[in-house]
Amino acid sequence: MTVFARKILVSIFSCFLFILTIAQPTGKVVEKQTIKSSVLGKNVNYTVYLPADYDVSQRTYPVVYLLHGFTDDNTGWVQFGEVNRYADKAIADGTIPPMIIIMPNGDSSFYINSYDGKENYEDFFVNEFMPAVEKAYRIKAEKKYRGIAGLSMGGYGTLIYSLKHPDLFAAAAPFSAAVWDDDAVTAMPEQNYNAVIGKLFGRDLKGKARLTKTWYDNSILKIVADKKTDELKKVRYWIDCGDDDFLTKGNCLLHIALTEKNVPHEYRVRDGAHNWTYWRTGITDALQFIGDSFRQK
């Protein structure tokens, strides 16, 4: 074969690969949808990822609720996490089954009901939001086809919902979850406490006065300690937190607590910190873990 012929073949092969690349089906992102909440007394935005075949099929799909972090909003996982791009690729190559991803705006609620009843986000999410979106889209509204994931504050929300409502979710994948023990909360600098979690558990509290009933009702480690092993086993857990993350201690304690209760779970400590580089590089594995729950054995 001549050099010229080889160049022609290489060019043809390159063009073929390029065509395959641009032909990969892509899902649809609806960045801003709104639900009117009577529980919260306001409109709540959310973002939706629909798999590539959604508009040309009549099938129903499993769903993953994907929660954002503190100071972010419902667009974060698309804007910074590029979750649509990772989901497209994983669906195309069969790593994950086609799924709908729902990303609600949680403000700075930590996805729970505040101590003073002024923002009952957990009630909204479970009683209003999930039923509404599962009617609005062709979603398989069953535990075995429903997963939840999130980062930081959203990782905390992921754990709260899966621990408190194990009959709703098949699998949960918290990233860099905001898990604190009692000592961390009591020692938290006053400014940080009031700015981040004071409105949830009680403002202007110091030391052990912060360990309120609302705190214990929403303490990840306390909930795990109080639940029986069989109850904890109802949900499959994927826990992922970087070795340089400031929340690594709490995630380690959660891993130890689940291990001591003989609860099977996946625990990952990768090289990385509390940033989007870490979360982007882990989202496919988390979605694969959740997606495996949707597939029949």
192 lies in a domain? no
pLDDT digits (tens, 9 = 90+) for 58-83: 999 999 999 999 999 999 999 999 99
Label residue 32 exposed, middle or buried (CB < 10 Å: 0-12, 13-18, 19+). exposed
Average pLDDT, the chain: 94
- Residue 212 falls within a domain, yes or no? no
Domain count within the chain: 1
Report yes or no on 195 lying in a domain: no
Two structure tokens written together for 168: 């709703």
Report which secondary-structure segment, H or E, holds 183: helix 182-187
Query: What is the span of the domain harbouring residue 52?
Result: 25-180+219-294
- Name the band, by pLDDT with cuts 50, 70 and 90, for residue 297: confident
Tell me, yes or no, whether 2 lies in a domain. no
**Structure tokens given for 241:** 């937190």
Maximum Cα–Cα distance across the chain: 83
What is the average per-residue pLDDT within 150-159?
98
- Cα dist from 258 to 24, 109, 165, 220, 230, whole Å: 40, 26, 17, 11, 12
Is residue 269, in this structure, part of any structural domain at all?
yes
Q: For residue 238, what is the domain's CATH number?
A: 3.40.50.1820
Q: Give mean pLDDT, residues 125-143.
A: 98
Residue 211 is assigned to a structural domain of this protein: no
Condensed to tens digits (0 to 9), the pLDDT of residues 229-239 reads: 999 999 999 99
Q: What are phi and psi of 240, to 5 degrees?
A: -140, 120
Give the lowest-confidence range in 7-11, 157-161, 242-246. Answer: 7-11
Tally: H helices and E strands in the chain: 14, 8
Q: Would 197 be classed as within a structural domain?
A: no
Q: Measured between alpha carbons, how far is residue 286 from residues 67, 109, 189, 237, 283 in Å?
A: 13, 24, 33, 10, 5
Q: What is the structure's pLDDT at 136?
A: 97
pLDDT score, position 3 = 57
Is 281 within the bounds of a domain?
yes
